[in-house]
């Protein structure tokens, strides 16, 4: 699954949620069309932190679609592409790399996302002598008392203050920072960074 596919899947889920809201709550259906609000925050990731991987690229997006007291759909997608092998990141094989995104606000980390190797069908761009792309794509939808949660690719821990993993969609705000890291034997090497900007 590539990033375009995961984005399309997330958009499809949002469309289904809106359709369900209109059918389940017909009194509010006109309001769904007229009063919904959408917020999009985008971060372009560029080399950072001593430049251990100058050829890495990345993108993260967070979207919230809402109508007060009726529905809210939150989506988060992230994509990181690196050359393989990447000696400075300690990566020799695309399939064994541990790539993560850490989100922070005012210098404090609040979420960590675990990316998975993208499957482009023929693996032309995901081999051990070329480049590899890693993805995460998550959707959470709330319609009144009903909650739907789907991890299309990867996962995120949205509460770093507690032990274990709390799955969810990061509550991104404009100005938040996202940092991509490679983790090898518990040693983290940050190599890309970007700041979310509301579009």
Q: What are the sequence ranges of the domains in the chain?
A: 3-198
In this prediction, what percent of the chain has a pLDDT beyond 90?
70
pTM of the model: 0.82
CA dihedral 85, 59, 74, 123 (to 10 degrees): -40
Integer Cα distance of 196 and 173 in angstroms: 7
In this prediction, what percent of the chain has a pLDDT beyond 70?
78
Residues of the chain with pLDDT under 50: 1, 6, 9-10, 23-32, 122-124
Integer Cα distance of 80 and 64 in angstroms: 22
DSSP percent split of the chain into helix, strand, coil, nearest 5: 20, 50, 30
What's the whole-number average pLDDT of the chain? 86
Integer Cα distance of 141 and 181 in angstroms: 29
Token couple for 49 = 């932190």
DSSP 36-47: -EEEEEEEEEEE
Quick: pLDDT tens for 55-111. Answer: 999 999 999 999 888 889 999 999 999 999 999 999 999 999 999 999 999 999 999
- The residues, any chain, with a CB within 8 Å of residue 45's CB and separated by 6 or more, are 56, 57, 58, 59, 60, 80, 178, 180, 192, 193, 194
């Amino acid at each position: 699954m590539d990033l375009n596919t995961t984005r399309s899947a997330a958009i499809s889920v949002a469309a289904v949620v809106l359709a369900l809201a209109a059918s389940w709550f017909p009194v509010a259906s006109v309001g769904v069309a007229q009063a919904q609000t959408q917020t999009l925050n985008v971060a372009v990731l560029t080399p950072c932190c001593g430049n251990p991987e100058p050829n890495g690229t990345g993108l993260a997006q967070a979207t919230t679609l809402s109508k007060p007291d009726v529905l809210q759909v939150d989506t988060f997608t992230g994509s990181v592409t690196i050359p393989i092998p990447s000696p400075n990141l300690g990566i020799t094989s695309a399939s064994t790399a541990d790539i993560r995104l850490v989100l922070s606000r005012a210098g404090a980390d609040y979420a960590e996302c675990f990316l998975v190797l993208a499957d482009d069908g023929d693996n032309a761009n995901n081999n051990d002598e070329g480049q590899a792309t890693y993805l995460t794509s998550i959707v959470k939808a709330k319609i009144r008392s009903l909650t739907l949660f789907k991890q299309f690719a990867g996962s995120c821990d949205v509460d770093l203050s507690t032990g274990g993993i709390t799955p969810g969609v990061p509550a991104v705000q404009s100005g938040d920072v996202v940092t991509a890291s490679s983790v090898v034997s518990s040693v983290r090497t940050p190599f890309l960074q970007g700041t979310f900007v509301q579009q």
